[in-house]
Amino acid sequence: MGTVVDAANKKANGSIAEKKPTVIFVLGGPGSGKGTQCANIVQHFGYTHLSAGDLLRAEIKSGSENGTMIQNMIKEGKIVPSEVTIKLLQKAIQENGNDKFLIDGFPRNEENRAAFEEVTKIEPEFVLFFDCSEEEMERRLLGRNQGREDDNIETIRKRFNVFLESSLPVVQYYESKGKVRKIDAAKPIEEVFEAVKAVFKAKDEKAAA
């Protein structure tokens, strides 16, 4: 017997799969310049930028029941379940008139990845991977001076290790499927964007062929 939740899920899954959106995962360590380049891609190629972290923060701010649960989990140092993040991404994709999306900072690990494909029935077009050395990312984050409390050397190294342990396997999985477009993110912003543009132009040319 189907519950209301099942019916809602079925409706959500049906419409998102029918929408056939183009999804590109954007991955890279802390300080690799993902945010800057996502803004450039939005401006030049008309994608909608979805950040898993921003969606979770917005949900918390909304004061909804879901938001309170997310906030409590984060406070307790627990990881928010994949399903919660995926539902927020799904809702954002459905409610947006666009059909091209950059999903930034997600999937964070293999479990996220498998759950996203299972729930949404969507495979990413490709993964844009900003490859940058730990030294360079460290230098950038320490030089940001935005007063972010997570920009101290110890925290930066922890975040970098989490990225290596959790997110790199996702990159390797998609690499084995020929879906990774690696960008040398250590170069100046303009040069990095030239490389990014080449990737998107190649994709558009392939689609037009």
Binding residues for ATP, as ranges, are 31-36, 144, 187
- pLDDT tens digits for 75-115? 887 878 899 999 999 999 999 999 999 999 899 899 999 99
More confident residue, 19 or 87: 87
Classify the C-alpha dihedral 185-122-82-9 as positive or negative: positive
As a whole number of angstroms, the distance between CA 128 and CA 25 comes to: 6
- pLDDT tens digits for 129-155? 999 888 888 888 877 655 555 557 777
Binding residues for CMP, as ranges, are 112
Amino acid, res. 119: V
- Structural domains for the chain: 18-204 (3.40.50.300)
The DSSP secondary structure of 1-69, one letter per residue, reads ---HHHHHHHHHHHHHHHH--EEEEEEE-TTSSHHHHHHHHHHHH-PEEEEHHHHHHHHHHTT-HHHHH
Binding residues for a ribonucleoside 5'-phosphate, as ranges, are 57, 78-80, 105-108, 148, 159
Q: For residue 146, what are its two tokens?
A: 């935005």
Q: Which residue has the tokens 């290790």?
A: 161
Binding residues, as ranges, are 31-36, 57, 78-80, 105-108, 112, 144, 148, 159, 187
CB 30 within 8 A of CB 141: yes
Q: Which residue has the tokens 């945010």?
A: 35
More confident residue, 123 or 17: 123
As a whole number of angstroms, the distance between CA 47 and CA 189 comes to: 19
| Whether residue 107 has a cis bond before it, omega within 30° of 0 | yes
Q: How far is CA 149 from CA 43, 125, 141, 164, in A?
A: 30, 35, 11, 21
Mean pLDDT across the stretch 53-73?
92
